Structures are given as C-alpha cells and as structure tokens.
Homo-oligomer: A and B are copies of this chain.
C-alpha cells in the first residue's frame, strides 16, 4: 500500500504520491472521477481539501492526472497508472484464490495443451479479466521421433515428436506413387536422420533420386518450413467474454475482441512486453492504438532461466493491478512447479 521512493529521474514527494495513489485506487474501484474530498476520505493526510486541490493541479500539470471536464474530479492518465504500478508493493493473492489455484493444479490432468487451456480459464476466473497463456516455441527441443505414415499412395503424414512432448504433423505430398515399403524405409531413414536434432540444426539429406530419398528430402524440407513465422507458439485465451464487462463502449469491445482473434498478434504483443522487461503495459505503452484503453499484465513462465511460456491478463487500464499481478505470478509459479516437477523430478 505504501510506496517506496527509489531514486529515479521523476519522483513525486510523499504527499503527491499519496494523493496520486488515492486517486488511482479510488478510480479503479468506482470508475468515477475522484475529487479532493474523496481523496481525503481514503488517505488521511492532515490537510484541507484546498491543499489537496493545489497538489492535484500540480499532478495534472505533470501529466499524472486529467480532468474529464472542468468541475469534475480527476482521473489517472497512463502515466499516473504507471507510477502507481511502479511503486506497488508486491500484492498477495487472497487465501481463497490461493486455495483455488492449489486445488486446480492438484486436480488437473492430461496433455500440456489441455492443462494450459484450463489454466487460462482458471486465471480468468481468478481475476475476472481475459487471460492469455502462451506456450513458447520449442525451437531447442530435440526430435525424439520422426515417422512417415502414408494415407494413400501420394499423401503421407510426417509425425514428429519433440523432447518437450510436442507432437507436430505435416502433410507430405509426393509427385509419384510410393509403395508401403518405400514409405516405411523413408520413415526409418528420417527417424535416424532427425533423431536428436533440433529444428535449427542442419542435417545431411540424401541426394539420391530414388523414391525413398525423394520422400526423405521432401519431408525434411516440409519440416524446416515450420520456422519462419512465430507460428509454433500456441495461444490459449480464457474468458474473452470478460471483455464485455471491462469496457463500456460497444466499439471498444469489438476492437479488443477483434485483436484477441489474431493469435499471432497477441503473441507478439505479450512477448514484446516481456522483452522490454516490463510486467505491465498500460494504455499506449504497447503500440496498438485499439488497445489504448487496455492494460496488459504478463508473467514469464521459466524453468531454470529457460522461458517455456507466458501467462498474461488483459483488462481495462483501471484494472486491479495488485490482485491481477499477484494472480498472474502465482499461476506462473504453479505452472513452473507443475511442469518443472513433472519433467525433472517425480
């Protein structure tokens, strides 16, 4: 609740900070502009409203607050929120939520994808915001198995299993009819060829021109084609209906939803925030104008310093930062335990 003054270029004196904090908290709570008197109710500075007003004028001049119109209270700007979150003491998740999370991870079963999908729903329920869970690229995962299965004479399926448990399939179309035997042989060679390699490593493909070699070559090239776009991340979005609660303008809702539909965009948004070393991006801080009334919280999911994914939350700029941050972190933490524990220990 109190804020620590770490030395930075622009730092507010204690009273201004308290006032700003009060305005932010109050506005998050009520969605209404906050006046000098309500500030005094929540934060007991031994001061008169007039003084608070003077301070608020200053805060407005410095860009932390705005007035929707003359004779209204103040509303935080993005900068105001930013100051607020930067000076936030680490929040904690309530005991009930704590319990819910534990319970969830105790009960949850099934494949990674299912777990993440459900995790996303959990996070959304915990916070009542829309949640995003990204399963990061497995670029460094090694190939445990590569198998070519033929569907019919010319259509085959390359099924690749990675060390992180991912399974990927690729259609391989041949320009000739291959016999079962040829496909089986190609499958065997592929497996030998790719075993232990990653998508990044170079492999020596046979240059012969027989059917088997052709199949092998075609398969490898299809597999390689994976790389370019950030296509290999999986995204799970939970509670998109929360968008309708978080924003009032129908048009805003539409825009936000429409962005959530583009998974690639969501991934890059979230990873961009992480890359910039942030845990929250407020309003215009992420580059997407349609999201200018949104805040995005991210928490990396990393095992041994290796990022395996991201969990995120998307809400209005006036979202409940302490709780949401805490929830995201807690869930991220449990994910690490869940998967870290599963792969190494147990």
Chain A residues in contact with chain B, CB under 8 A?
110-111, 121, 144-145, 147, 149-152, 154-155, 157, 159, 161, 163, 165, 167, 169-171, 238-241, 243-245, 248, 250-251, 253-255, 257-258, 260-261, 342-343, 346
Contact = CB atoms under 8 A, between A and B. Distances in A.
A149 B159 CA distance: 12
A121 B261 CA distance: 10
Contacts of A150: 144
Given A149-B161, A240-B257, A241-B261, A169 B250 contact: no
Contact of A257 (B110, B145, B243, B251): B243
B248 A261 contact: no
A57 B248 CA distance: 39
Given A240-B261, A261-B241, A167 B157 contact: yes
A152 B343 contact: yes
Contacts of A159: 145, 147, 159, 161, 167
Contact of A253 (B147, B250, B346): B250
Given A169-B167, A250-B250, A253-B244, A149 B144 contact: yes
Contacts of A163: 151
